Each structure stands twice: as C-alpha cells, then as structure tokens.
Amino acid sequence: MRFPTTSGILLTAGVLSASTANPLPQSNIETSLSLERRAFSNAPDGYAPGEVKCPDVPLLRSAKNISDGEQEFVKKRHEQTNKALSQLLKRVGMTDFDVDSFLSSYSPTVGIAFSGGGYRAMLSGAGAIKAIDSRESGTTDGPGTLGGLLQGSTYFAGLSGGSWLLGSVIVNNYTTISELQKRDDLWELENSILTPEGSLKIISNIDYWTDIRDDVKAKKEAGFDVSLTDYWGRALSHQFVGVEDGGPGVTWSSIALTDHYKNADIPFPLVVADGRNPGEQLISANTTVYEFNPLEFGSFDPQLFTFTPIEYMGSNVTNGIPVKKDVCVRGFDNAGFIMGTSSSLFNQIMFNLPADNLPSAIVDIAESFLAGLSESDADIADYSPNPFYGVNPSRNPSANTRDLTLVDGGEDLQNIPLHPLIQPTRKVDVIFAFDNSGDTIAEDGINYTSWPNGTALLATYERSLMPTIANGTVFPAIPDTNTFVNLGLNNRPTFFGCESKNFTQGATIPPLIVYIPNAPWVYHSNTTTLTMKYDNTQRDNMILNGQEIATQGNDAEWTKCVACAVVHRELERRDVTPTQQCQQCLKKFCWDGTLRPETPEKVYDPEYKGTEIKSAAGRVGVRVGAVVAAAVVALVVV
C-alpha cells in the first residue's frame, strides 16, 4: 500500500510551489500540513521522486556560513536550551558559580554526537539519550542525574548506527527512548531485518520484500539510478520510520515542517556520510565529508564548500541551474534512504538474503545488483544526478560527473560525527562525544572485541592537522590508541582540549571534547557490529548500560563536571578562573598530554563498573553469517 500522494505539488498538476523563505524554500504544502508533528509523507509519489516547479531560491549556497534558516533556528533554540541548562546546572550543585548571571549573558552551544557501530551504537547511544532527556522518569531526581542535557543541546549529530538512533527519535515526533522500547512497530530487533516476519507488525517476509522491491522499482522507473542502499534504506525504514510500510514518502526535509522543529523543541539534527567514487579507497585525509540536515545537504570541506536545499535533491542541475528550465525534483530526500546512506556498509548484509524463504524474483534483485557491482562497491549510495555538478571544478573530484556517490560516514575512520560540530561557523562550545565504535582486537589478533579505543577521535585529529583539508577546523590533540588503552582513556570519560592556551595564538578555538566511551557497567555492551538480532531483554540491557555510562552510575561528582564542561569555554574566553570545584573536574577528567605509546601488555578486557544484570538470559545476539571477508574487515571498525 502506498500513502496518498500530496496532490498540488506535482508539476503535472499545474500547481507551482512558490516560496519566499530564504535560503530554504518552503513548499506550499506547509500551510495545509502545519499541524503535523512528526516527519511525514510529503513526497510527490511515495518513494519515487517527482518533478515539480523549481523554487524561487538558489539551489547552491557557499558554505562560508550556516544557512539563514539554521541561524534563525539556533536563535530560537537557545531560548529553550538556556532554560534547560539553568535547571541542570542548578540541580547538579555547582558551588561558587552564579548560574543565572552566567546564562543571562551567554547561551552555551552544546553538541551531542553519536558514533557508528550498528545496533550496538544505536542502543548504547539510546541509553545515553534516555539519561539526558528530562522527559524520562528519574532523570531529574537528584544531583547525580543528567536529565535536561538533551533539552540543553543545540546540535545532535549521528553517523551510521548513530543515525538510526537520531532518525528514530527525530522522525517519530521527537519521541523518547522509553516510547521506542514500548512500541511494537519500531525497534523490535528480535528478528533479522532481512526476515522480520512476526515482528514490527510484519506479517509476511514475502510481502515485506515485495513492497521494498516495488518502491525501488518505482524510483528507477521515474528515471533515477538506484543502488543497494535503496533496498537497505527501505528495510531500515520499517524499523525506524514508524509509518505503515516504512513510510515510502517520508522525507528528511519534512522534519523542518514539523511543529517541534518550528518551535525549536529539538536539537538541530545532523547526519554524516562520506563521498566515495567506485573503486576508490577512503582515508580521512582527503575524503569529502557530507552532512544532511533538515534544510540542506552539502559539505564544509574545501573541495566542495557548498550546500543545496535538501528538499530539491534529485534535481538535474549544472552549477545549480536546472538543466530543463524550471524543472526540479522533490521526494529524493527519503528519510530511510538518508539513514541507509550513512550506514551503507551494512548493504552487504543483503548478501545474506535467505534464498529458500523468499520468491526467486526477490532474491534475483539482490543477485542482479551484486553481479553488476564489484563487491567492494556494494556500499555505494547513488545520489545522481549530482547536485554539485560543475561546482568548484578545480578542487571538487565530482565536479565533472553527473554522478555523486556516497557511503557510510564511518568509512574514513571518523566514526564519531564530529565534523559538522567543529565547523567554526557553528560556534559549538562543548561536544559530548559518545563513542560506541568497535575497535579493540582479541588475543588472537583477528577477532574484534568491539570496545572503542580512540581510533575515531584520532582520525578527526589527524585530519585537522592537514591544512589543505582542515579548511579552518581545529581539533584538540589526541594521543595514539596505545596511550588510550594504557591510560584507560577509553574506559571512562575524558576531556580533550581543556586549555585554550594550548592552541595556536589567533587560531580558532575548537569545542571542548567530552569523550564518553562504551564500557561495561551492568552489561557486556560490546556486541559485534554485525549482531543483527537482539531480543527485547538484550536490547533493554544495552540501553540500561548506556544510561549508566552517561551518568557514570549516577555519580554526582561526574554530573557536576558535566556542568563545568558546559560553561568552560566561555569562562576561558572571559579569562575567568574556573571555580575550585571545576578545577578539580579538569584535573580529574582532562587528558594532560601524557603519552604511553608502548603496546599494551594485555588485551583490553574491562571489568564491570557496576553490578552485572542477572536477568533471565535472553539468547545471545545472533551474528549474521558469513559475509565476504573484505566486508567483515571493513564493517567491524564502524
């Protein structure tokens, strides 16, 4: 079944979508749907993008600043974040610090970032959100709680598994994690996404795949290139979009039309993906990092340094000018497709479609795709026609091709979506970086034990040292991963970049990084990246462990230090000495520059920090079977 198309926006229906907003065009459906609260179906024809009249605004914009729309949003958001931060800072008990006077003169810009790492990252990150969301019970009950940090955040970034978390919350009416746990049409992971029959209200695997196939076919018949990511994104949508049939018409740009967005009740959501051409290998030193936000798609990187209105992606343009006069496209920015792109490494699980349970026509799709595709390119998401065709030809590797291909945001090892948050134009003061990467390796030197070890931060730091790609971004010094493990920096929260004085005089001062790694508090939360099934007990235990990580077991000393981190940069700018209490925090949590680069003596095997949950044992997460060896190697780092 398809959702009714929104008539009146199709070019063929003869109705023009005029717009006055600058720079983001707002289509005329906004008025009729202004009561919508959740992201919704407003694509012209379900999953198939359709032609519309072009908006009155330019389709390209230089990245030298954030968009006017984002500036407006942030201004409104700060009214809300200041209220939330006021309550939080007072509750945790900052001493010798006048919260009201501080917040009356400054609105801190807080960013939260959720790494990739499949369902492990999604669930562990969900625990963190649950702990910092004041709408959840118990999160504002005393000094050892962090409820309100989410409400106090201006930006919310997600990558790969972290984008599933972000998408699930933002697309579904800014729902809570508790609510996602309760629903029977979302976040039911006990069956594999390949054969979900019996969960997620899916009655038949055959119907499920037939619908997915029909959606993708419709896009193809509308004249667009499709890739495995389309199938993957459609499948993900059934778990995360919460609209019947996975909401084939639900667009990312519709987020900006919801009341929650218009009232700035939500942090500004940012999803990251990398540019990659077929056959190319990614390294952080030269990858073009793209972001999707509710208003725009593009990159701050010097190769591109351009944004386009996300609502009109799919339009065929040269240098931002429509190839056919006045003909643009809407509906390309499907919400599931964007989450699928950020997590496109998982495309390869399509290799595991169980041939015996599905009609051959459906297995054939996967096979015909894989036949025409080098295995190493199975992760590619096709964003042709390239919205940036003709842009910055001297530096943009995709300027001369109508094709634009993107992949999983973690493929360049920058597995925490810090890139959008360290752009100087966003003026972020502090980033709470939740790292649920699976980096560590077992004794055998082959298998992963899937704890983080700083690899993601290091990749972002190394990139920031290369002037040709950094383009004005600065990142705190980050030590090698041996040091991380030897000093236990990957086992407890660590602050990086505590002293602004340590950055080059006159340079941009980057946000303070509050690094919060996955660690076992009450549950062994280092499930493999490829674990594709969790029963509800396992799922909830992962979330519970994530809550403990975020509050460090409701440690009131830690929550005070979170408050100190929020105000730290501005106090430095004012040359105000931190309070006694905050100085203690800095002493305890800041990395002080010590290096211990020798290979760790033992493999990393952290102990429980709390009491292990002894619940009725659910079955152990089932690992998806054999995949191409190269795929495994690539996947596990994300």
Ligand X SMILES: *[C@@H]1O[C@H](CO)[C@@H](O)[C@H](O)[C@H]1NC(C)=O
Can you give the binding site for ligand X, defined by CB under 6 A? 37-38, 64-65, 71, 173, 223, 280-281, 283, 286, 302, 305, 316, 323, 385, 395, 397, 402, 439-442, 444, 447, 449-450, 453, 455, 471-472, 476-477, 481-482, 485, 502, 524, 526-528, 591-593, 600, 604-606, 637
Tell me how far, at minimum, the Cβ of 64 lies from ligand X, in Å: 5
Torsion of CA 377, 378, 384, 386, to 10 degrees: -40
Angle at 28 between CA 25 and CA 32, to 5 degrees: 135
Residue 331, number of CB atoms within 10 A of its CB: 32
Query: Distance (Å, rounded) from C-alpha 159 to C-alpha 241?
Result: 17
Q: Are strands 512-517 and 155-159 parallel, antiparallel or unpaired?
A: unpaired
Nearest-approach distance from CB 297 to ligand X, in angstroms: 17
Report the alpha-carbon distance of residue 274 to residue 412 in Å, rounded: 8
Residue position matching structure tokens 């094709």: 403
3-state DSSP assignment of residue 638 = coil
What is d(CA 515, CA 113) in angstroms, rounded to the nearest whole number?
10
**450/542 Cα distance (integer angstroms):** 14
Tokens of 184: 């029977």
Joined together, the tokens standing for residue 195 give 């054969």
Cα separation, 323 vs 386, whole angstroms: 12
Please say which residue, 112 or 328, places its beta carbon nearer to ligand X: 328
Q: Which is nearer to ligand X, 283 or 361 (CB)?
A: 283
Give CA–CA dist 323/319, Å, rounded.
9
Q: Provide, rounded to whole angstroms, the least separation between the CB of residue 205 and ligand X.
A: 25
C-beta closer to ligand X: residue 18 or 323? 323
C-beta of 206: minimal distance to ligand X in Å?
30
**For ligand X, the closer CB: 145 or 450:** 450
The kind and range of the H/E element at 99 are: helix 99-105
CB of 144 to ligand X, least distance (A): 26
Complex with ligand X: residue 138 or 593, whichever CB lies closer: 593
Residue (22 or 71) nearer to ligand X, CB: 71
Q: At what angle do helices 118-132 and 161-171 cross, to 10 degrees?
A: 50
The token pair at 92 is 């945790």
| Of 341 and 450, CB closest to ligand X | 450
Q: Which is nearer to ligand X, 263 or 615 (by Cβ)?
A: 263
- State the nearest-atom distance from the C-beta of 483 to ligand X, in Å: 9
We find the least distance from the C-beta atom of residue 385 to ligand X, in angstroms, to be 5
CA–CA distance, 106 with 88 (Å, rounded to integer): 16
CB of 594 to ligand X, least distance (A): 8
Which single residue is written with the structure tokens 């009416």? 173
* Residue closer to ligand X (CB basis): 206 or 632: 632
Number of Cβ within a 10 Å radius of residue 256: 21
- Please report how close the Cβ of residue 332 comes to ligand X at its closest, in angstroms: 11
**Element housing 362 (H / E):** helix 360-371
Which residues does 317 contact at the CB level (< 8 Å), separation at least 6?
59, 323, 385, 387, 389
What's the rounded Cα separation, in Å, for the pair 397 and 301? 12
71 vs 319 by CB, closer to ligand X: 71
We find the least distance from the C-beta atom of residue 487 to ligand X, in angstroms, to be 11
Identity of residue 517: P
Give the start-end residues of each E strand in 267-312.
268-275, 289-292, 296-299, 306-309
Q: How far is the CB of 521 from ligand X (least distance, A)?
A: 13
User: Would you tell me the crossing angle of helices 360-371 and 228-240 to the nearest 10 degrees?
Assistant: 130
∠ at Cα 536 (531, 538), nearest 5°? 55
**CA-CA distance, 282 to 408, in Å (whole number)?**
11
Of 8 and 472, CB closest to ligand X:
472
User: What is the dihedral sign for C-alpha 585, 588, 592, 597?
Assistant: negative
Residues ≥6 apart with Cβ < 8 Å to 579: 94, 95, 96, 97, 564
Nearer to ligand X, 97 or 429 (CB): 429
Please state the closest distance from residue 577 (CB atom) to ligand X, in A: 18
Query: Residues 609, 520: contact at Cβ < 8 Å?
Result: yes
In the complex, least distance from residue 392 CB atom to ligand X, rounded to whole angstroms: 7
Q: How far is the CB of 537 from ligand X (least distance, A)?
A: 16
> Hunting for tokens 């990092």 — which residue is that?
289
Closest chain position to ligand X (CB): 472
| Closest CB to ligand X among residues 96, 592 | 592
CB-nearer residue toward ligand X: 233 or 606: 606
